Structure 1
């Protein structure tokens, strides 16, 4: 009976300790939520607010400083009639298709080669992924040296005795856009390889064994069995690379600067030219909104596809 008061005396202490532990857990949850959601909300608010502001400015008479006098579609008509804008979107089609298709093809080839469990796979994977660690500014600068006919590959081959060799695409207005594709593919192929290789390594081993039992050779197995199985990864890689091509600025700025002349202009350079070189804020905002619409054209079908795929999996 003497122990009962002692137990009763400990009960308030145990209860307070339990309440303190519950309070600490709740506080930890609140702090974790703040650490995660607060930066996301700030970033989302930043994007939404400035997107809306840029859209509003694109309909105003703003020049060097904001002027909120309404002018309707005048800035859009002025921008779309310039040679810079028209050449930029022709170049975007050339650069986008060349960059995306070649990057996917090279990345897929590298992924299939590494999927053979070759010796030194880890070292090769590191080498192929290395360009991802390099910024587009560095990539553009280095490739500008390599492709410069006076100091790059052409000069090296000439010094070796092949004086008829020419590789001066960088200074030819009709070929300079392809130098952007070369540099972009060099940097983006490792990214595509990583996603394709992850998809191939995630496949069920029984699927591969069944194909081998049926007598499928390596080429037929990849073409008929493995690659069709990872087709959602193809869609993902395609969309990511395409939106990257639309937003490309650093690479073209460092490699060609939009030249020779305006032969390698891209939409991002048009926005930069209007806003920061000409001081035409309204027209620059209109060019930015048009570039945003280009991204929407790419991302909206992808969003619809992802939603359709989730609904299909839920029904299954």
Structure 2
């Protein structure tokens, strides 16, 4: 019995008599932490640290250079006068993407060719999209000039130079670029629905409209939330689209939140107002992402 006991103790890893075994095991445990530590520290400093720094600056009277004296929410009071009406309507992309996905889900002929056509705009940068649509919508170069050459001289389409309609040209370009990707998300969701559920509903007498309204669209709720997050992200980073398409004009009528932040921070030397606008954009995205994460985490235990 003593020999068996000695053998079992010798073979147990905790009692390994080799001198470097404990050091090696400690290094193996610490290696992932050592590798992740620099990136973790950089994320804490350069992401979350700068977010806190921006929030702090939004409550100061910072101009060209940071000011460290707290002056209260004056920048937010000034910012309140400017509304974000120019934010591209995500509902158009959601509706158009869902409509295209439903059409492609009917197993139509040529689906393999149509999907890349719809998805191709998403492969382009916002700069390319903005320049292309600027040429197309320019009255002296694009659609209006072409139709005039064809004999339709009464046609006028000068939205890109009209301060009351220029924002809609940004919407057109943004919807053109994003709708194909949203369509792909919805199409993947439609193809993931169990066909037996749909067949059972059809046997019970459900019409096509009732099928989509009461079964298909409710089952796509996670896709709707994911698509909304993607569209909000695109709206925040669409600064280059506005610059390439309209340069923010005329008179700043095509500004998006990102253009407003850049203009006031780096051109008008109003760092506090620019920081306040950045904080509001962060709060907008947070208001969308937090409910989504809550719903996802709440449903997983079920």
More moved, 279-288 vs 100-109: 279-288
Q: Give 1:303 deviation, angstroms.
A: 3.4
| Greater per-residue helix proportion | 1
SS in 1 for 2:85: helix
* Corresponding position of 1:89: 84
Q: Which residue of 1 aligns with 2:247?
A: 257
Residue 235 of structure 1 aligns with which residue?
Answer: 225
CA distance in 2, matches of 1:157, 1:31: 67
Partner of 2:75 in structure 1?
Answer: 75
- Report the count of equivalent residues: 286
* Structure 2 equivalent of residue 7 of structure 1: none
**Corresponding position of 1:291:** 281
Instruction: Please give the residue correspondences for 1:100-179 in structure 2 after superposition, counting only pairs within 5 Å.
Output: 100-179=90-169
Map of 1:10-29 to 2, 5 A cutoff? none
Determine if the alignment matches structure 1 residue 43 to structure 2 residue 38: no
Query: Judging changes above 3 Å, is the alpha-carbon distance between structure 1 residues 78 and 225 closer, same or farther for their aligned structure 2 residues?
Result: closer
Structure 2 distance, partners of 1:60, 1:47, is: 20
Shift, 1:122, TM fit: 2.4
Q: Distance in 2 between matches of 1:117 and 1:172?
A: 42
CA shift, 1:30, in A, is 6.8
2:192 to 187, 195, 202: 202
1:277/1:150 Cα in 2 relative to 1: closer, same or farther (>3 Å)? same
Q: Kindly tell me: are residues 176 and 282 of structure 1, through their superposed partners in 2, closer, same or farther at Cα, counting changes over 3 Å?
A: same
Change (3 A) 1:221 1:294: closer
Tell me the TM-score normalized by structure 1: 0.78
Distance change in 2, residues 1:44/1:116 (3 Å): farther
- Structure 1 distance, partners of 2:285, 2:252, is 23
The equivalent residue for 1:4 is none
Relative distance call for 1:148 and 1:246 in structure 2 (3 A) is same
Task: Give per-residue Cα distances to partners, 1:86-112, cap 9 Å, x unaligned.
Answer: 1x52323xx3xx3x1111111111111
Q: Deviations over 1:188-240 (max 9, x none)?
A: 11121111111111111212322343344544432332222222222322243
Change in 2 beyond 3 A, CA 1:71/1:135: same
CA root-mean-square deviation: 3.0
Return 5+ residue gaps in structure 2 as ranges: 1-10
Aligned to 2:152, the other structure's residue is in SS state coil
The Cα of 1:47 is off from its aligned counterpart by 1.2
Tell me which of 281, 301, 305 is aligned to 2:291.
301
Unaligned runs of 5+ in 1: 1-10
Deviates more, 1:67-76 or 1:52-61: 67-76
Write the distance in 2 (CA, Å) between the matches of 1:193 and 1:36: 37
CA distance in 1, matches of 2:247, 2:46: 29
Deviations 1:33-89 (A, max 9, x none): 7667754663354210111111122223332222323323333334444xxxx1x52
